Amino acid sequence: MWLYLAAVLVGLYLLWRWHRERQMVPRLSEKYVLITGCDSGFGNLLARQLDARGLRVLAACLTETGAARLRAAASPRLQTVLLDVTSSRSIAAATAWVRECVGDRGLWGLVNNAGTAVPSGPNEWLTKDDFVKVLDVNLVGLIEVTLSLLPLVRQARGRVVNVASVMGRISFFGGGYCISKFGVEAFSDSLRREMRPFGVRVSIIEPGTFRTRMTDPTTVVKGFKHLWERLPAETQAAYGHHYLETYAKSIALLHPVSSSRLSRVTGVMAHALLARFPRSRYAAGWDAQLVFLPLSYCPAWLADATIGLFLPVPAGGTRARP
């Protein structure tokens, strides 16, 4: 009897949650949303999808070419602005432009999507500047953009959507990328608690592996080889040339099995922006939900052993054991 009662209660909870999450905010045509990183990938697709739903999209692009291409694919409602999230001057100019666009309505949504993963590789192969290059875009730039636009979001009692990654839960490789995503998680958590009394909701998006320009194997392997070529001979000897080749092959094999359905990510982004009751976190992609997130809750020895199966063995080392 208790088993049946538990099943009924679980069913009722899932039905209630399904109904709750289907409720959307009204008057979409009056809402302004700024999205960073709209030249390609998730940001580009989300901008076009929200534009098709009637929202007033303000798309921030890094290049004029990307901005022109996006305008050609969208309605006249969509507006673009050039934004380099690593430049305080560029952020200030974009903020002034947004303030002029939204007027007294405020900014309903801010989607911090701009990001980079290059350079990435074994930590020993990298310099401080390599880490800073990624952190400036993925974390420091995200923070400065958010702080600059937060008064406008607060005015509208709107939403902040920060794109992190499952690599912000468990680090699979060295460099600034995973570090930056851990930082995005921490910043978003504190911001969510601080903004709740103002009616502002903050959500974190945690995508798995998807086929975007950032994950293109040619670009990734090229960057990895560049790191190898600048290493001292002693370090190259410690790792061995086979380490480079094996790593490059593993990256090339990962790309075909990653998802090409970017809408899995933009769909949860849209829900975070438009649902009356958005979630605090969204995991996007089967690998994020079934592999990476469960692995992040495992004991360290088990996570290390699992990830270690996919890492090459250096010439001067042995296969790590738990």
Q: Among residues 211, 197, 205, 102, which one has the least CA distance to residue 149?
A: 102
34: β partners: 58, 110
pLDDT at 95 over 70: yes
Here the tokens at position 98 are 């947004």
Quick check: is 318 in a domain? no
Quick check: is 43 in a domain? yes
> pLDDT for 217-245, tens place per residue?
677 777 788 888 999 999 988 988 888 77
From the list 32, 177, 239, 243, the catalytic residue is 177
Quick check: is 245 in a domain? no
- Over the chain, what is the mean pLDDT? 89
Q: Residue 163: what residue type?
A: V
Quick check: is 235 in a domain? no
The 8-class DSSP code of residue 85 comes to: T
305: β partners: none
Place of tokens 């996570």: 303
Tell me the whole-structure pTM to 2 decimals: 0.89
Q: Among residues 110, 170, 172, which one has the least CA distance to residue 141?
A: 110
CATH number for the domain that contains residue 37 = 3.40.50.720
> pLDDT for 281-312, tens place per residue?
999 988 888 888 999 999 999 998 888 887 78
| Per-residue pLDDT, 173 | 83
Quick check: is 36 in a domain? yes
Q: Which whole number is the average pLDDT over 131-160?
A: 97
CA-CA distances (angstroms) from residue 89 to 51, 152, 158, 214? 28, 18, 25, 25
Which of these ranges, 1-5, 36-40, 88-92, 273-277, has the smallest mean pLDDT?
A: 1-5
Spatial distance between the Cα atoms of 224 and 221, rounded to a whole number of angstroms = 5
* DSSP H helical ranges for the chain: 2-21, 41-52, 64-72, 88-102, 128-135, 141-156, 176-195, 217-229, 233-239, 241-257, 263-274, 286-287, 293-296, 300-308
Quick check: is 251 in a domain? no
User: Is 177 annotated in the active site?
Assistant: yes
Cis upstream peptide for 119 (omega within 30°) = yes
* DSSP H/E element including 81: strand 79-82
Quick check: is 16 in a domain? no
Quick check: is 285 in a domain? yes
| Per-residue pLDDT, 254 | 62
Other C-beta atoms closer than 10 Å to the C-beta of 50 total 27
pLDDT at 109 over 60: yes
35: β partners: 59, 111
Range of the domain at 282: 27-214+259-303
Domain total for the chain? 1
Q: Residue 148: what residue type?
A: S
* DSSP H helical ranges for 77-201: 88-102, 128-135, 141-156, 176-195
